[in-house]
A and B are shown apart, each in its own frame.
Chain A
Amino acid sequence: MFENIRMSFKGIWSHKMRSFLTMLGIIIGIAAIIAIVSTIKGTNEQIKENLIGSGNNTVKIQLNQGDYEYEIDDYSGIPDGVTQISDATMTKIGKIDKVVSASRYLRRTDYNGYVYYLNNSLSGGSVTGVDKNYFETLNYVLREGRGFSESDYDNYNKVAVLDEDSVETLFPGEDPVGKTIEINKEPFVVIGIVTSGTTFEPTITSEEDYYTYYEETAGNVYIPSSDWPIVFQFDEPENLVIQVESTDDMTSVGKAAADILNAAISPADDTISYKAEDLLEQAKEIQQLSESTNNMLIWIAGISLLVGGIGVMNIMLVTVTERTMEIGLKKAIGAKKNKILGQFLTEAVVLTSLGGIIGVICGIALAEIISKAADMPVAISGPAAVGAVAFSMVIGIVFGMMPSYKAANLDPIEALRRE
């Protein structure tokens, strides 16, 4: 085997130009595939990052009606049979494997102009009633002022914390801390501003992206959950947010928590249930969309590989003809058919593998150029590179088989006679 590889390199080296031109088809095909795969992977990683937020690892479990979040407003009330999440349920959820922390919250989207500062409205944003764990669970950090204290909860203090987006909407050019805002006709004093711990901005490059990530950019006003009945109603259903250890745990933990929550409620409307907002799943759906278009490109690159493979076959046939005498001699001195077959097959595989390796290097270079020139995210995939080289080996075997078989079956008398 080693001997065959050594001889193959010798043979390839003795026809440098010819070997290079033969490899070119494989090189172009593999380079194209690597470049495309790298671009797909880069885009996918960006989608995942946009949706999930890097290093945040939080999963929301919301009360859904059918496929949509159950939203309470002035017209639709509290659904029958849905109680608030009890402390006992929270203990159970805290015991789920991989859960770091969990927090209950109440939320209303501000379609109706609940929140005002002077004439500025937070229309499109939301009001969130949070428990003591909320900011910690979501990795929010205080940028200014203070957060909610025990006494704020105990004394029903009408205080609010804003996030950066709501500051921009309600207080353009002003410092909000200490100012009073109006939430559903009740005055609340702004005591602090929170910001996401991991500074993350979704990369928005198109209108579609904007709608996909819209929620991330809307403003939020937070109040202690104990204040909720002051502005809205008692016993509104709560949602849950859980921080898990890693991104990959989000789906499983989310499902487990939703099951526990659903066991605790008995809604009259059976389309109402808790569902984990599976960002990972959403990311995958968007990824699939971009992948299906790029898969077409891979097919096109595959045709180049096919053409390259035929080129290899052609050159191997020429090589067999050129080396007829050598084959005849080898058979005369006792080489079995499979030795000859192995020798030529090895040569074909070495040729295509070499092309594959060069192709991978070119593909990585090409991907880097694309990322620089077209400002597209690119991620080099290790398995794809290994796969590409392995695939080029397979091409060598497939297209080298026919010429090698021809060589192995040459009649030694015939072969020796040719000069």
Chain B
Amino acid sequence: MILSLEHIYKDYVQDKLVVPVLKDINLSVEEGEYVAIMGPSGSGKTTLMNIIGCLDHPTSGEYILDGKSVLGLKDNALSDVRLNSIGFVFQTFQLMPRETALENVSLPLSYAGVKKSEKKERAMKALERVGLKERALFKPTQLSGGQKQRVAIARAMINNPKILLADEPTGALDQKSGEQIMKLFRKLNEEGVTIIMITHDPGIAKNAKKIYYIIDGVISEDEEQARTTAEALEKESAIDDDFLIDEEPSEESSDEKEVTKDEKS
């Protein structure tokens, strides 16, 4: 098992109101699996991805990544986990606009303290892996959307992480480019990379070998079951009406945006 989430809860506090986003998430992913997490906007899938990506802390629960609990780790240790164990692919590519494809790809290597000569060589190899060797010296503005996403994938893969985390990787692409990306994912998965992909598009999700559904913060392999559990929990919480809490909203002050953003996407 490469990662396992056990009883993960995540609450956001908004105007002294506790908004539960993730409810008792149990998820384990085997090494080499290709998993899609599907769900509508506002279902909590981005929050889940942030927790899996060690960018966010759950309110409670346990998260074992590659045999180690990561929840108690300090900032710098978490940075190392992200650097070495997880590759990120974002919907909007997130490339440095002023840097060439090669420089973009080699960015994580500078955080890993890799020597300059080796950096270039490895970045070149990574670009070759995604079929963009010829575009190494192009800047993002000179690349198409699909090419940009492939550069981003090359960057995510450069430290040979075990897990590739993709958040709506085809969301900003036309269908043809999207298919190319999916083909690339399949290839990477065949090479042994564990892929966790988050999407709201069933057409994209079916590329994965296993699909989880997340509805209102409840996850299940069965879409129907997720929905009924979520509805049951909703009724239950409606009974204990007020969610007023004592503590001040501090770290989670911006959580309102989290929900609204998901609604948009």
Chain A interface residues toward B at CB < 8 A = 3, 10-11, 14, 325-326, 328-337, 339, 412-414, 416-417, 419
Of the four ranges (under 10, 10 to 19, 20 to 34, 35 or more), the interface on chain B belongs to: 20 to 34
Contact of B94 among A335, A337, A416 (CB under 8 A): A416
Is B76 a contact of A336 with CB atoms below 8 Å? yes
Q: Are A339 and B111 neighbours in the complex by a CB distance under 8 Å?
A: yes
Pairs across A and B, CB under 8 Å, 13 listed: A330-B107, A332-B82, A333-B88, A333-B155, A334-B79, A334-B84, A334-B112, A335-B79, A336-B111, A413-B55, A416-B94, A417-B257, A419-B92
Contact A413 B84 (CB under 8 A): no
Smallest Cβ-Cβ distance to A334: which chain B residue: B83
Q: How many A-B residue pairs have CB under 8 A?
A: 60
In whole angstroms, what is the CA distance A3 to B155 when docked?
A: 17
**Contact mask B82-117 → A, CB, 8 Å, 1/0?**
111000101010101011000000011011100000
Candidates A337, A412, A419; contact of B55 at CB < 8 Å: A412
Interface of A is mostly: helix
Contact in complex: B111, A333 (CB < 8 Å): yes
| Most interface-central of B84, B88, B155 (chain A CB within 10 A) | B88
Among B30-51, those with CB < 8 Å from A are: 50
Nearest first, the 6 closest Cβ-Cβ pairs linking A and B are A334-B83, A329-B94, A334-B82, A336-B79, A335-B111, A333-B108
- What is the minimal beta-carbon distance from B199 to any residue of chain A, in angstroms? 17
Between A3, A10, A413, the greatest number of chain B beta carbons within 10 A of the residue's beta carbon is seen for: A413
Contacting residues, chain A, for B53 (C-beta < 8 A): 332
Is B76 in contact with A334, judged by CB distance below 8 angstroms? Answer: no
Q: Does B261 have its Cβ within 8 Å of any Cβ on chain A? A: yes
Q: In this complex, which of B50, B56, B94, B258 has the most chain A Cβ atoms within 10 angstroms of its Cβ? A: B94
B60 at interface, CB cutoff 8 A: no
Binary CB contact string for chain B from 39 to 79 against chain A (1 if under 8 A, 0 otherwise): 00000000000100101100000000000000000011001
Are B96 and A337 neighbours in the complex by a CB distance under 8 Å? no
B80 at the interface (CB under 8 A from A): yes
B254 in the interface (beta carbon within 8 A) = yes
Q: How far is A279 from B85 in the complex, measured between Cα atoms in Å?
A: 74
Pair A334/B98 contact, Cβ less than 8 Å? no
Measured CB to CB, the closest approach of chain B to A226, in angstroms, equals 83
With a CB–CB cut-off of 8 A, which chain B residues contact A14?
98
Q: Are B75 and A337 in contact (CB under 8 A)?
A: yes
Say yes or no: A417-B80 contact (C-beta < 8 A), given A3-B110, A332-B53, A335-B111.
Answer: no
B94, A334: Cβ atoms under 8 Å?
Answer: no
Tell me, rounded to whole Å, the shortest Cβ–Cβ distance linking A341 to chain B: 12
